[in-house]
Structure 1
Amino acid sequence: MKFGYVRVSSKDQNLARQVEKLKRIPVDKVFSEKESGKTINNRSELLNLLKQIKRNDIIYVTSLDRLGRNADDLTEIIQYIKKKGASLQSLDLPDFSNVPDVNLRNMLTDILITVFKFQAQSEREKIKERQREGIALAKKRGVYKGRPVLYGADSPNPHKKKIYFAIKKGLNAGYSVADLVTKYGVSHGTIYRIKKEISKN
């Protein structure tokens, strides 16, 4: 079987471009999800795919970073795929399928994936460092405001802004934190933060 795996990090991003590339192969089945690549355990579709693969199956991704955002996660996933007797092919890397010797083919693929993994992680670490430097400079100038609050009076999301005021109203009416968590599907921390805001006023 040929499987495809596609992922984007947020709900408002589109999977269509990745899916279209994999359909051209073609693959027999595509597993898709909109989840952060920060950890493996929160990605149910990736876990479903890994459970289904068997010997000689091939997993296709458009890019290795769709599988994971750090070298350790990628190594764990790739080792699991190999342990099951399946193989991985990333469309942004050369395909060694025409190399007749299986051992040589696997060795070349492993070397290339290893280089790519650490190159990608190094680039992400550089981006994080530039972000930290930018935040430090913004703080010095007194213009750093931190991340926007999702559930707040100034939330850029109208729906979450509406929920914020509804929670505020509920707290003022005497509803418990547990009641509001259940009703609006937000975290306890969000309710406690809003509750703290009210107590300051």
Structure 2
Amino acid sequence: IITSLPIMAEAIGNPLLDKFIKDLIIQILAMIAEQERTESKRRQAQGIKIAKANGVYKGPKLYSANAKDPQRRLVYKNIVEDLT
């Protein structure tokens, strides 16, 4: 995506200055992306907090095929196998 920017394809003529400007643009875009990600996480956490206060959000299921804990995934798998 960055290489599609017109300024990234242009050359000033001085290789050091070209590299500096391109590196600067990349750093600025990286900083903006990081700030957007941080703000998105903050808003998500705020929404989850509000949903929990309203009793809407309960969090992920502890025992499921997609549980983070491998032991809980195994327990889920064993129960499903026993029921079938």
Using structure 2 for the length normalisation, give the TM-score.
Answer: 0.70
- Give the 3 Å change call, closer, same or farther, for CA 129–118 of structure 1 in structure 2: same
Unmatched 5+ residue regions in structure 2?
none
Cross-structure match for 1:191: 74
Q: In the alignment, which residue of structure 2 is the partner of 1:14?
A: none
Aligned equivalents of 1:93 and 1:145: distance in 2? Answer: 47
Work out which of the residue numbers 47, 55, 66 in structure 2 matches 1:134.
47
Distance 1:128 1:145 in 2: 18
Mapped to 2, the partners of 1:128 and 1:94 lie a distance apart of 31
* Residues in 2 aligned to 1:197 and 1:125: alpha-carbon distance in whole angstroms: 39
Equivalent pairs, count: 76
Q: Distance in 2 between matches of 1:128 and 1:139?
A: 16
For structure 1, the 5+ residue unaligned runs are 1-61, 64-89, 153-186
**One-letter code aligned to 1:136:** K
Question: Helix, strand or coil: the match of 2:44?
Answer: helix
What CA distance in whole angstroms lies between the structure 2 residues aligned with 1:150 and 1:92? 44
Aligned to 1:115: 28
Equivalents in 2 of 1:127, 1:93: separation in Å? 28
Between the aligned partners of 1:122 and 1:97, the Cα distance in structure 2 is 27
Is the strand fraction higher in 1 or 2? 1
% identical aligned pairs: 25
**What per-residue deviation string (whole Å, max 9, x for no partner) do you get for residues 127-155 of structure 1?**
00000000000000001032367627xxx
Cα distance in 2 between the residues matched to 1:112 and 1:121: 14
* 1:51-130 mapped onto 2 (5 Å cutoff): 62-63=1-2, 90-92=3-5, 94-130=7-43
Moved over 3 A (4+): 147-150, 195-198
Match of 2:58 among 141, 145, 169: 145
Quote the Cα distance in structure 1 between the aligned partners of 2:78 and 2:48: 26
Paired letter, 2:16: N
2-structure distance, mates of 1:143, 1:114: 40
TM-score by length of 1: 0.32
- Partners of 1:138 and 1:106 in 2: CA distance: 48
Aligned-residue RMSD, C-alpha: 3.0
Larger Rg: 2
Between the aligned partners of 1:97 and 1:145, the Cα distance in structure 2 is: 52
